[in-house]
């Protein structure tokens, strides 16, 4: 094929309603712009969240430092068991308490008096 020859299979695409095509293009462009704005807003929120998390981490670090300073200033208490040294009582194990015996005895005495009335 020579450069000056027209292609025989040339296609022509015609648009029936130019205003409909223009509206479609504008709506698509509007949707793209809205998506870009939404993405920018999400980015701002992510940046704000990152800043807040960084601030929170800094505050927690400061609080830990201050707590360690406070613990260093307080006197050490001896004779108080640490949580690891405390024996845990299972719910199945009953702890014998002498106060309970006294209360039960008083209750049975009161019940005996009420029967005599």
31 domain residue, yes or no: yes
40 domain residue, yes or no: yes
Cα angle 29, 35, 37 (rounded to 5 degrees) comes to: 105
Asked if residue 73 has pLDDT above 90, the reply is no
| pTM given for the model | 0.44
Domain range enclosing 25:
15-74
53 domain residue, yes or no: yes
61 domain residue, yes or no: yes
> How many separate domains does the chain show?
1
Render 68-111 in DSSP notation, one character per residue. HHHHHHSPPPPSPPPTTTSPPPPTTSPPP-HHHHHHHHHHHHHH
* pLDDT at res. 87: 63
115 domain residue, yes or no: no
45 domain residue, yes or no: yes
Kindly state the average pLDDT of the residues 14-26.
84
Share of the chain above pLDDT 70, in %: 71
Dihedral over alpha carbons 38, 43, 46, 51 (to 10 degrees): -140
Judge whether 15 and 21 are in contact, CB under 8 Å: yes
Cα of first residue to Cα of last residue in the chain, in angstroms, is: 129
Judge whether 89 and 95 are in contact, CB under 8 Å: yes
93 domain residue, yes or no: no
Judge whether 113 and 107 are in contact, CB under 8 Å: no
């Amino acid at each position: 094929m020579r450069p000056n020859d027209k292609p025989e299979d040339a296609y022509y695409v015609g648009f029936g309603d130019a205003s409909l095509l223009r509206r479609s293009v504008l709506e698509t462009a509007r949707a793209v712009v809205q998506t870009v704005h939404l993405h920018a807003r999400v980015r701002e929120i992510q940046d704000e969240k990152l800043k807040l998390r960084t601030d929170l981490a800094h505050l927690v670090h400061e609080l830990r430092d201050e707590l360690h300073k406070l613990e260093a200033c307080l006197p050490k208490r001896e004779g108080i068991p640490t949580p690891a040294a405390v024996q845990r009582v299972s719910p199945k194990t009953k702890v014998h308490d002498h106060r309970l015996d006294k209360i039960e005895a008083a209750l049975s005495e009161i019940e005996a008096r009420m029967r005599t009335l």
